[in-house]
């Protein structure tokens, strides 16, 4: 999973490891990745740290190769890494900032999915979970704040749909999750939800049974408006 070193990502990694998955805690800083795995290890959970920056394609390729060499399979990908543009307005935001948000939230997640799908196809099993946001819902998009973030999450939802359509009947389920507004560095201290609450729906989607949904967008384990 990407961005496992803090926030909702660490909570998802913990909850998946508690369900006996061997979690690969990737982080863009190699030391952070190893420290995160060690933290889980100290709690008796099985985990390994691997360096992966979603904006550096070589690190994605290397991480996937490493995991396949060590473990022979990849069952789950959680695209958790994400950044926001914060207090911007759509008419005045710097295009370079939009591009940075797009690189991480859309292209990074898309590339990670493309990198693991061949191995998932080979085993006939896969769960891909994209950390989206209620802010990316077109239905709810009636405010101008965080414009690059909103647009990127709407695009990530579209990536979820096209991947799910391609992978129908392959055994690979692709879904998007809104964690709600969560107390993290990104969400800020006033958010009402804990990281464990935010992690619940992504973890549920990561461990769906074979007849589970695909191509959906979920909040609190229920479908939400696109």
Q: List residues with catalytic annotation.
A: 149, 153
Binding flag, residue 49, ligand NAP (CB under 6 A): no
Least Å from the CB of residue 124 to ligand NAP: 28
Q: Closer to ligand NAP by CB, 33 or 117: give it.
A: 33
Least Å from the CB of residue 147 to ligand NAP: 14
Among 33, 51, 54, 224, binds ligand NAP (CB under 6 A): 54
Binding flag, residue 5, ligand NAP (CB under 6 A): yes
Alpha-carbon Rg for the chain in angstroms: 16
In a 10 Å sphere around its CB, with 0-12 CB exposed, 13-18 middle and 19+ buried, how is residue 67 labelled? buried
Q: Which of residues 190-209 bind ligand NAP (CB under 6 A)?
A: 191
- What length is written for the chain? 226
> DSSP of 183-220, one letter per residue?
-STTT-TT-SB-HHHHHHHHHHHHT--TTS--S-EEET
Would you give the binding string for ligand NAP spanning residues 132-151, x where CB under 6 A is met? -x------------------
CB 181 within 8 A of CB 135: no
Q: Where are the beta strands (DSSP E) in 52-122?
A: 76-79
Binding flag, residue 131, ligand NAP (CB under 6 A): yes
How far is it, in rounded angstroms, from Cα 207 to Cα 72? Answer: 19
Binding flag, residue 187, ligand NAP (CB under 6 A): yes
Question: What letter would DSSP give residue 24?
Answer: E
How far is it, in rounded angstroms, from Cα 154 to Cα 135? Answer: 8
Q: Closer to ligand NAP by CB, 102 or 181: give it.
A: 181
Binding flag, residue 85, ligand NAP (CB under 6 A): no
Rule CB under 6 A: which residues touch ligand NAP? 2-3, 5-9, 27-29, 53-55, 80-83, 104, 131, 133, 178-179, 181-182, 184-187, 191
């Amino acid at each position: 999973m990407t961005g496992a070193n803090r926030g909702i990502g660490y909570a998802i990694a913990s909850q998946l490891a508690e369900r006996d998955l061997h979690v690969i805690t990737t982080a863009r800083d190699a030391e952070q990745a190893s420290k995160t795995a060690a933290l889980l290890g100290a709690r008796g959970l099985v985990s390994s740290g691997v360096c992966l920056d979603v904006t550096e394609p070589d690190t994605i390729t290397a991480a996937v190769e490493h995991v396949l060499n060590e473990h022979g399979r990849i069952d789950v990908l959680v695209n958790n890494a994400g950044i926001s543009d914060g207090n911007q307005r759509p008419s005045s935001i710097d295009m370079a900032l939009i591009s940075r948000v797009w690189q991480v939230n859309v292209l990074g997640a898309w590339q990670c999915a493309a990198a693991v799908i061949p191995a998932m196809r080979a085993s006939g099993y896969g769960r891909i979970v994209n950390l989206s946001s209620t802010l990316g819902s077109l239905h709810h998009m009636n405010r101008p704040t965080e414009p690059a973030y909103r647009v990127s999450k709407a695009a990530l939802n579209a990536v979820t749909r096209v991947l799910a359509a391609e992978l129908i009947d392959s055994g690979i389920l692709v879904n998007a999750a809104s964690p709600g507004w969560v107390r993290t560095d990104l969400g800020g201290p006033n958010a009402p939800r804990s990281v464990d609450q935010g992690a619940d729906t992504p973890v549920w989607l990561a461990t769906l049974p074979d007849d589970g949904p695909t191509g959906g967008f979920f909040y609190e384990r229920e479908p939400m408006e696109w």
